[in-house]
Amino acid sequence: MLDAMRADVCGNETGVPAMSWVEDEKASLVATLRAVAPEADTLCEGWDVRRLLAHLVQREQGPVAMIRDSIANRPPGQEPGLSRLADRAGTPQGYAELVSRFDAGPPPWAPMGWAGGLINLLEYAIHHEDIRRAGPASAEPRVLPAGQQQAVWKQAGLFARLGFRSAPVGVQLATPAGATRVAKKGPGVTLTGEPVELALYASGRRAPARVTVTGAPDAVESFTQWAAAA
């Protein structure tokens, strides 16, 4: 996490500040939100695009409502706070206003106003793909700049360790560019893919993620069975 924070502040070897990748990804996500149907499916169970948008707004601008939804512990699609926010965006004008609210961002004094850039790149990238890859007409992976993929890679370390902590074998991550990282210690499997694909896989979006699993046959079988059920 500290490495990810330093990367956001200091930039990366491309010379582009990593914070700008957050801004670029958000701008691209906003364009997609404006282009798709609010009722379109997403990869998030129980959420259409409108509800996913409501989540993004609530996460940055409604932390109290987000805590209340967590306490309510309702099934996906039945969260009280998200439902109220999504219902207010039920008309074309209401939806457009909610997209604009997300685009404008939280006030600078809010936690997500001054610290959100440190954690938003993965959030935006994963939810962007939740929209793009849902349904029968799943979109192909985007060809992202190397610097943006590197920024995702830098932020994904803790995320991957949490995602694979219960895996039955060790897990190593690898990118086509040759970067490697241990997500869980021990002999096991190697997951190879672009950083965004690895982040999708680690977050449970197994099927749409373009990731190759290699290793000893027993380890691969044990891991893939776990991954399918997790």
Q: Does domain 146-229 have CATH number 3.30.1050?
A: yes
Report the chain's mean pLDDT, rounded to a whole number: 90
**In the chain, where are the structural domains located?**
14-132, 146-229
Position 82 scores a pLDDT of 95
Helix, strand, coil share (%) of the chain residues, nearest 5? 55, 10, 35
Tell me: pLDDT of 216 over 80: yes
- Residue-wise pLDDT for 90-145, tens only, equals 999 999 999 999 999 988 877 887 777 778 999 999 999 999 999 888 899 999 99
Position 3 scores a pLDDT of 33
Position 11 scores a pLDDT of 37
Position 18 scores a pLDDT of 52
Predicted TM-score (pTM) of the model is: 0.88
Position 129 scores a pLDDT of 98
**Residue showing tokens 């500290």:** 2
Neighbours of 202 (CB within 10 A): 24
- Residue-wise pLDDT for 172-188, tens only, equals 999 999 999 999 999 99
Q: Specify burial of residue 136 (Cβ count, 10 A radius: 0-12, 13-18, 19+).
A: exposed
